[in-house]
Amino acid sequence: MGETIRFGVSIDSQLLDSFDRVIADKKYTTRSEAIRDLIRDYLVELDWKTEDKEVVGTVTLVYNHETRDLTAKLAQLQHRLHSQIISTLHVHLDQHNCLEVLVVRGKSNEIQEVADQLIGTKGVKHGKLTMTTTGNELI
């Protein structure tokens, strides 16, 4: 971890009031920690825009398991993409609907492609890629 540096920021009072309300709602103890998290989030987003960066994330899917051939199609895709999918969690939400969470790792462009293929599979009701970082470059 590097040296801690203090710096000043000029900001409109209304914007600061709004920010203070948000950080209180999010239970931050200081503005500094909230600002550090915003910076980290921005850096993670940049990593995802750099195709050669290794990233991690989750792909969350909700689907009706009774949809014809859907379960088989998703399983085939997951087997084909096994080098980027490192873990899965399957939950039965009710008698018909399932939630599947896949932990993915690889180059950002590859992971986006994996997510697009899974989410775009006919019969998936909702899907979302949540992008994060391996943490290697963040402090």
Q: Which residues are annotated as a binding site for Ni(2+)?
A: 79, 90, 92, 98
- From residue 72, give the alpha-carbon distance in Å to each of 27, 49, 69, 115: 43, 32, 5, 17
42-46: list long-range contacts, CB under 8 Å, 24+ apart: 43/133, 43/137, 43/138, 44/131, 44/132, 44/133, 44/138, 45/131
Q: What angle do CA 94, 96, 99 make, to 5 degrees?
A: 65
Length of the chain measured in residues: 139
* Annotated binding-site positions: 79, 90, 92, 98
